[in-house]
Chains A and B, each alone.
Chain A
């Protein structure tokens, strides 16, 4: 099957649409076709009593004039609708648009003529019915990658089979904790088929599965109630619905609830913070990752705008944004500009070495795009976004070693959300659970506190990095203008001084 067939367009029409978009004088035009189906099933009060599915289909057309963007989309892919969108997007060229940057760069892997249908190549691609042509693949570096597979296609799965799975989650939770009052479990999955084409003649397709389960439980102990919510999200097919995932969710749901009922608010103030491995990667996302997104730096807004090549934290620390973590929620075979997924070292040995680029910022800075041009859907133009952001393991022992080194501070390991002010660099994250550290030991459980710090200061104040990197697999969504699935991770780290909310 020709990849264009799914969207009812021909290769000639793609070329014609690009030409239409550029007719008013634009420098660059790209097309982003999307066909997404989203399904969900909800267990509440012991029954799977509602479900749904949702279809989103259309094509976004972007025209660039220098760094200026024209964008329009059509929810129908008939040629006239697409042509109207191309003309609307092309109108950017008619605005006053002084040219300040370079041309969008040809990416390292997509140039070439249209792919031809073939039965050759990896089975994964054969199963999609098409494959990038040998000629195109020859200039593709890295080659076409598959950072996520759909071994059991969601579309072929029996929805009815998921119902007992959700019930088993509830049963497992209730079997392990008699304090359970209410359980809500939601299984959702989506499949997106993407086709991208641009004015360099690059054509790219991607098939993006994503499965997620979240479980919210209300516990009651005496007259007190507490809640706990856990989630798991991975880019894979229906094989995601597995006993291993079930066991993980059940275990984490009931884990730590004794401490949760005992938890209190600490006395607030500035103190050392040990951040547990995994979800504490929210620190990197908020405190550093956003500030490294190149649009903020191109506009001079980021607190890191003028610090490229400078040391920003101690030697030995490496911070990455990585599209290649297999099955991660942040994994991308290609970004939403057709740039191959790749691993980007933002901080190398303590030195700021790269921003996160889309094509616009890459042109501005004269570098290759890093595959960070992402978007929520065809309704949005791509902008620099993170994927899976993490810090590599360090040399400073274990989590316990870090805790033992703190006289009085706090240990945190579960989070709800975070935020950052780009210019000021002030970031926060909300801690669902943790412990006080007193005399090098975990003592009183704490919960529901916000922590605030400043990105550059926090980076410079990382005093120890343990060797226990873990990538979190929760349902993280980044909300910079658009909602995009991401992930984060970190080894246990000790930060010398952050401000902890309290009484």
Chain B
């Protein structure tokens, strides 16, 4: 992977850019390798081997800017590529605000790439047979009933504990790859639902007496290593390396002529911490929990959003605090810096540098050092995400370009999990999965399809589907009832179970 040879290659690329006419440049070399075994109904269905490499260049030429990438990395191809890139950059308008970040703000302590301890040497020893064994042993069908469709009834069994593992910097890509989501999007709005990654387990109190048949089980195990190095002509050089072990499974069942599906996944930078077998049980429990689901009468109810899906209502806040959104007036949080626009119960802290926790990283894509910093503190917006370019545009001090590992802090007390929040809330709708929807970045209006459970007296009563949750993010957050302490550490954003009062549901 990244050795002195690759580092030398990146330096040469910067030299080529300089010789071609770039006054400044940033080069990012990324290498990755991934092996994957997919199963269908307890049999190996697909094996893949991937090895990727790419060089990205940000060029600053005569006051102009362009960004380029290629995976043709032989010397002759690269030289031609860079010459063409410099020429292309000269065609756009000058923009004096395009600059490399101040070296004083950049990361200088990511020298080996493994400072965070995110590389598991065990990956080198994983054989193709090991991968198949992991994938097959995680299969509910293979482990319990061979590979034949299963006729069964009742509960899928005790709910597994959520694996206490960490995710990787590849998480978003892998979540997307493993997602069962089938969707269509226009370019206009990136639907937040695009990376659907399943939901919380069906509650053991949910009705599970119906007979059902497992129609299919699709599982996918993968292990990968990702390495990157960022260098610029100001002397910045920082590296990041991370392994990732992932398993996701979707189970489809049929009961009384209706089909239901459940999905679950786990991930860790360490193989020993991956709990693949638990995923199948969890996915089955989620599918079984939805048997007989139907809409309840539309109305204004308390909404409890399970930790697995709760980032859906946090991500729009982070996007709205992006310097690009602010500069373009494309944000429902314009002029919010330093103001209390959320209730005191909302605090979001970026914790990018926790060793051993995947998704931690020492630097952003500009090479700027990440720091632990409040994003929202007791309802007050404390930070916009402003890269070097936007700093000039907005005439503001630069920060980092995005939150690396945002964490929603517990409120009103520590230690609340989903069940405790359900008890506090009494009755309402527990949202365990979103089905499509989107939000307006300018107004903060949103509308999402949901499924989950109706709960009363803190206990789940019946499954719910085919409903919509509609509102405005500022209004929604002003009605925050509780933020739990149960975020899944394998997720990119550490968002716990959340509860809100008086949310509009239609069905």
Contacts and interface: CB of A to CB of B under 8 A. Distances in A.
A77 to B, nearest CB: 10
A122 B321 CA distance: 55
Given A423-B215, A479-B184, A501-B506, A95 B44 contact: yes
A474 B43 contact: no
B88 A159 contact: yes
A69 B45 contact: yes
Given A220-B329, A417-B193, A479-B183, A268 B252 contact: no
Interface stretch (A350-358, A404-412, A445-453): A445-453
A416 B182 contact: no
B436 A452 contact: yes
Nearest to B218: A299
Interface stretch (A130-138, A146-154, A390-398, A480-488): A480-488
B46 interface: yes
B436 A450 contact: yes
A174 to B, nearest CB: 15
A426 B183 CA distance: 12
Contacts of A97: 43-44
Nearest to A98: B43
Interface residues of A, number: 106
B72 interface: yes
B370 interface: no
Interface string B66-98: 111111101000000100110011011111001
B452 to A, nearest CB: 13
Contact of B91 (A160, A269, A285, A450): A160
Contacts of B504: 268, 502-503
Contact of A481 (B66, B177, B442): B177
B465 A55 contact: no
Given A47-B95, A53-B88, A268-B298, A450 B184 contact: no
B51 A75 contact: yes
Nearest to B64: A49
B115 interface: no
Contacts of B9: none
A430 B438 contact: yes
Contacts of B121: none
B93 A420 contact: no
A345 B184 CA distance: 21
Contacts of A480: 181-183
B506 A415 contact: no
A344 to B, nearest CB: 18
Contact of A450 (B329, B437, B443): B437
A357 B160 CA distance: 38
A468 interface: no
Given A50-B67, A57-B71, A227 B447 contact: no
Interface string B177-215: 101111111111111011010000000000000000001
B228 interface: no
A213 to B, nearest CB: 10
The interface centre, meaning the residue of B50, B52, B180, B447 with most chain A CB atoms within 10 A of its CB, is B447
A2 interface: no
Contact of B470 (A85, A225, A503): A503
B139 interface: no
A200 interface: no
Chain B interface size band reads 35 or more
Given A268-B468, A268-B470, A475-B186, A499 B71 contact: no
A286 B184 contact: yes
A442 interface: no
Contacts of A372: none
Contacts of A68: 43-46
A163 B66 CA distance: 14
B470 A449 contact: yes
A428 B252 contact: no
B197 to A, nearest CB: 13
Among B65, B128, B215, B328, residue most surrounded by chain A Cβ atoms (within 10 Å)? B328
Contacts of A47: 93, 95
A230 B46 CA distance: 39
Nearest to B329: A218
A290 B467 contact: no
Contact of A53 (B44, B85, B290): B85
B176 to A, nearest CB: 8
A476 B187 CA distance: 6
Q: Which of A58, A416, A488, A503 has the most CB of B within 10 A?
A: A416
Nearest to B332: A225
Given A72-B50, A282-B184, A416-B438, A52 B71 contact: no
A418 B435 contact: no
Interface string A185-206: 0000000000000000000000
Contacts of A229: 186-189
B191 A419 contact: yes
Interface string B380-392: 0000000000000
B120 interface: no
Indicate the member of B65, B67, B259 with the most A CB atoms within 10 Å. Answer: B259
Interface string B300-341: 000000000000000000000000000011100000000000
A426 B72 contact: no
A448 B329 contact: no
Contacts of B447: 430, 448-450, 501
A227 B330 contact: yes
A371 B259 CA distance: 28
A307 B435 CA distance: 24
Given A300-B252, A301-B216, A416 B188 contact: yes
A419 B132 contact: no
B53 interface: yes
A477 B119 CA distance: 35
A233 B186 CA distance: 11
A421 B45 contact: no
A214 B190 CA distance: 13
Contacts of A290: 182
A168 interface: no
Contacts of B298: 268-269
Given A51-B88, A85-B49, A220-B329, A417 B68 contact: no
Contacts of B72: 55, 57
A268 B191 CA distance: 21
Given A286-B184, A476-B184, A48 B218 contact: no
B189 A416 contact: yes
A417 B70 contact: no
Contact of A429 (B93, B94, B188, B436): B436
Nearest to A35: B72
B186 A502 contact: no
A70 interface: yes
A446 to B, nearest CB: 11
Contacts of A286: 182-184
Contact of A265 (B45, B194, B259, B445): B445
18 contacts: A45-B393, A49-B95, A50-B65, A53-B88, A55-B72, A57-B70, A72-B48, A74-B51, A76-B74, A229-B186, A379-B52, A417-B183, A417-B184, A417-B189, A424-B261, A448-B445, A454-B466, A476-B185
Interface of B: 40-41, 43-53, 64-72, 74, 81, 84-85, 88-89, 91-95, 98, 128, 132, 177, 179-191, 193-194, 196, 215-216, 218, 252, 258-261, 290, 295, 298, 328-330, 393, 435-443, 445-449, 451, 465-471, 504-507
What are the 9 tightest A-B residue pairs by CB atom distance, in nearest-first order? A268-B506, A428-B436, A419-B436, A501-B468, A229-B188, A423-B259, A475-B187, A450-B447, A417-B191
Interface of A: 41, 44-45, 47-58, 67-76, 85, 88-89, 91-92, 95-98, 159-160, 163, 181-182, 184, 212, 214, 216, 218, 220, 225-227, 229-231, 233, 265, 268-270, 279, 282, 285-286, 290, 299-301, 303, 379, 381, 415-430, 432, 447-452, 454, 474-481, 486, 488, 499-503
